[in-house]
Amino acid sequence: MSAAPMDGSPVRRRSNYRLRRNLTEAAALAFGLVLVVWTLTPIYNMVAVSLEPHGDVFTNDIWPAKPSLESFWIVVTEGHWYLEYFWGQFGNSLFVGGATVFLTLAIGSLASFAIGRMRIRYGWLVSNAALLTYVIPASFLAIPFYRIMNIYGLSNNLWAVIAAEVTFATPYAIFIFQQYGVSIPIELDEAARIDGASPTQVYFRIYLPLMAPALVAVGTYALLLAWNEYLYQFLLLSSKRSMTVPVALAQFLNSDEAPWNYMMATAIVYALPPVAIYYAFRRRMTAGLTTGGVKG
Amino acid sequence: MADAQALRTAEAFPLRGVSPARPRRQVRRLGLQGSEFTWAVAFVIPYVGVFLAFVAYPVAYGLWLGSDPALYAELMSEPIYQRTVVNTTLYLVIGVNLKMFGALLLSGFFMRRGWWVKGLLIIYVLPWAVPALPSFMSIHWMLNGQWGLLNNVLWNVFGVDGPGWLETSRWLALGSVITSHIWKWMPFWTVILLAGRMAIPQELYEAAAMDGATGLKRFTYVTFPLLANLYLVCTLLSTLFTLGDFNSVYFVSGGGPALSTHVLATLGIRNAFEIARPELGVAVVMSALPLMIPLVILLMRKLHTTEVTL
């Protein structure tokens, strides 16, 4: 498949070559169509179910007979038992996301500045610890983490969730910052120090501005991680008022007759901000991932 | 380089009124001195604190919780656990390899020129952009035997009465979970491998074409050897991520029917929170260590050496 048969093999007759080219293009288009169907089916289902009017989820329609935006109205006006505190929960998710971004960027950039730029002794130990945290699956730490949060007195507290998200976002931040920091000449720091700049001044005036692209990439990553993560938020938050949106969304499944149209409408409202952010920063995200993430 | 730096910092100090008291050799070894060293320590302390409080302590606590050998004897005799191990193995072997191989082929497809291929890529990455929860919930409902979209389509278009994908058979449910996982994560790896392919210089292909390497040969002799290391790192990383994947199983099949499709990540949480036996939950997770430790060591080495070769 990698071998796009457009270039290369010398074909004697021009028309013959053109025919083959058109055929492969047609095959590629057909394959592309299959790929679109594969990709969009679950998302189509989400939209179709959310447009079902009240109580009409149990049908055999492929597209709702009378599509209506009623479910979205219910979500926005908190008009259902499960959606009582929707906007408060939305706010909680925003708060967790914002705090995670700020703390991840601050802690991650300070650490990688000390390791990569100031070359602190045993810095390699710290970056290895970070790398190790990055490769250990977060869900495997959930049980002891939950108990420890109780010991710290942070049960049912948003700060417990923030601590969890920061814990799992910072290793990636340190990894990316160190890889990206290599491209910034160390002579800049040295020149500033000769001019009498203190380490904090070098950090704020030289390091941070030059790291801006990496900061944006990691910030987006941390925000999406905190917004999308479910397991820790589910374990650490128990009351309706302190819940974040994904936890509230999964609450729907607790009842036997889940109102699927409201649930899918909530799901769409919840998914829109991260999708918008993802597409806005798409280039930065992939750039960050390939320069640092898993480049081989 | 290190000399120059030591020299310059030594020069810098008198300017700030701090005399470099240490002998030269020690300066070179330390790299930093006095107040600078204090600052550097202050800068790493927040992360070290996070690591100790939220990684090292939970890990130690987990090891302590799961340290009783009797727990493992109990697990081994449980049919649910035995099934879970089989599921996890299938999930890893089939899920990871299909996903990575598909991503490898698709990254080649997306190297094609043309506006519609670029547009297609934007649509194709949508599963990665959408949070896991809404997608998996939607898939769960889509696969409902009676009212789900899939069976509605099968009935309306082909006149076939589709099975209850998640309710009737363990293998159908497990297959659905694996497919959902691939749907969600293949775009991510495709983009990574696509970037890897784009980094291969065009001249190599031109030279290879001169020597007669086109078509499949071009792939086996040029593209794949250059991508092999990246592919391996991605596969290892993906294996670890898949091992810890909670959402696909929890929201698509929920471990059902009759607890037959659990994987280690979900069974651990179930044991700890649904039947309130945290030490048994930790034991489930710990039983993955014999697989995890070699993977982690291999991956850490790979990530280090690749830094050097780049």
Q: How large is the ipTM? A: 0.88
**pLDDT (average), residues B7-19:** 35
B280 touches chain A (CB under 8 A): no
User: What DSSP string runs through A100-124?
Assistant: HHHHHHHHHHHHHIIIIIS--TTHH
Please say if the pLDDT value at position A4 is more than 70.
no
Q: Do A137 and B265 touch (CB under 8 A)?
A: yes
What is the predicted pLDDT for the residue at B107? Answer: 93
The pLDDT score that the predictor gives to residue B211 is 86
Interatomic CA distance for residues B4 and A44, integer angstroms? 62
pLDDT at B15 over 50: no
B interface test, pick of A1, A2, A117, A127 with most B CB neighbours within 10 Å: A2
Structure confidence by residue, pLDDT tens digits, A223-241? 999 999 999 999 999 998 9
| Cα–Cα nearest to A253, from A266, A241, A237, A242 | A266
Higher pLDDT, A105 or B207: A105
Helix then strand then coil, % of chain B, to nearest 5: 80, 0, 20
Compute the average pLDDT of residues A108-116.
94
**Interchain CB distance below 8 Å, B278 and A147:** yes
For residue A138, give the nearest of B108, B146, B244 by CB distance.
B244
For residue B142, the chain A residues in CB contact (below 8 A) are 41-42, 45
State the nearest Cα–Cα gap between A117 and chain B, in angstroms.
9
Chain A with chain B: Cβ pairs closer than 8 A: 317
**Distance between the two ends of chain A, CA-based, in angstroms?**
22
Per-residue CA distances from B149 to A40, B95, B156 (Å) = 13, 24, 10
How far is it, in rounded angstroms, from Cα A37 to Cα A22? 23
State whether residue A77 sits within 8 Å of chain B by CB. Answer: no
B269 has a chain A CB within 8 A of its CB: yes
Could you tell me what percent of chain B has a pLDDT over 90? 58
Q: Does A82 touch chain B (CB under 8 A)?
A: no
Contact A113, A214 (CB under 8 A): no
> Out of B43, B62, B124, whose CB is closest to A113?
B43
Q: How far is CA A49 from CA A64, B199, B298, in A?
A: 7, 42, 45
Question: Which of B27-31, B76-80, B187-191 is predicted with the least confidence, judged by mean pLDDT?
Answer: B27-31
> Does A254 contact chain B (CB < 8 Å)?
no
Count of Cβ atoms closer than 10 Å to residue A178 Cβ: 23
More confident residue, B218 or B15: B218
Mean pLDDT across chain A:
86
Instruction: Tell me, yes or no, if B200 comes closer than 8 A to chain A by beta carbon.
Output: no
Disruptive mutation site among B133, B226, B243 for chain A (greatest number of A CBs within 10 Å): B133
pLDDT, mean of residues B119-148: 92
Asked if B47 is an interface residue toward chain A (Cβ–Cβ < 8 A), one would say yes
Give A62's contacts in chain B (Cβ within 8 Å): 149, 152-153, 156
| Confidence category of residue B18, pLDDT binned at 50, 70, 90 | very low
When pLDDT is cut at 50, 70 and 90, the band that residue A10 belongs to is: low
Does A55 lie at the interface with B, CB-CB under 8 angstroms?
Answer: no
d(CA B203, CA B158): 50
How far, in Å, CA of A211 to CA of A182, rounded?
A: 11
Q: What is the pLDDT of residues B221-279, one digit of tens each?
A: 888 888 888 899 889 999 999 999 999 999 999 988 989 999 999 999 999 999 999 99
Shortest distance, CA B199 to any CA of chain A (angstroms): 10
Asked if B246 and B266 touch (Cβ cutoff 8 Å), the reply is yes
* DSSP assignment letter at A294: S
Of A36, A135, A147, the CB nearest to B61: A147
Which chain B residues contact residue A31 at CB under 8 A? 109
- In the prediction, which pLDDT does A149 show? 93
pLDDT, tens only, A256-268: 677 888 999 999 9
Find the mean pLDDT for residues A204-222: 91
Look at A126 and B156 and tell me if their CB atoms are within 8 Å.
Answer: no
3-state helix, strand, coil in chain A (%, to 5): 75, 0, 25
Among B156, B278, B300, the residue with its CB nearest the CB of A131 is B300
- Name every chain B residue with its beta carbon within 8 A of the beta carbon of A6: 113
Q: Does B95 touch chain A (CB under 8 A)?
A: no
- Using CB atoms, which residue from B183, B268, B299 is nearest to A143? B268
Given CB atoms, is B158 within the 8 Å cutoff of chain A? no
- Nearest in space to A20 (alpha carbons), one of A5, A40, A30: A5
* Mean pLDDT calculated for residue range B192-206: 86
- Across the interface, whether the CB atoms of B135 and A58 are under 8 A apart is answered no
Confidence of residue A290 (pLDDT cuts 50, 70, 90): low
Query: B202, exposed or middle or buried, with CB in 10 Å at 0-12, 13-18, 19+?
Result: exposed
Contact check, Cβ <8 Å, B142/A41: yes
Q: Which residue of chain B comes nearest to A57, CA vs CA?
A: B147
Would an 8 Å CB–CB cutoff place B240 in contact with chain A? yes
CB-based contact, B153 to chain A, within 8 Å: yes
**Lowest model confidence (mean pLDDT) among A54-58, A105-109, A232-236, B23-27:** B23-27
Cα diameter, chain B: 88
The CA distance from A246 to the nearest CA of chain B, in Å, is 7
Closest residue in B to A173 (Cα) is: B47
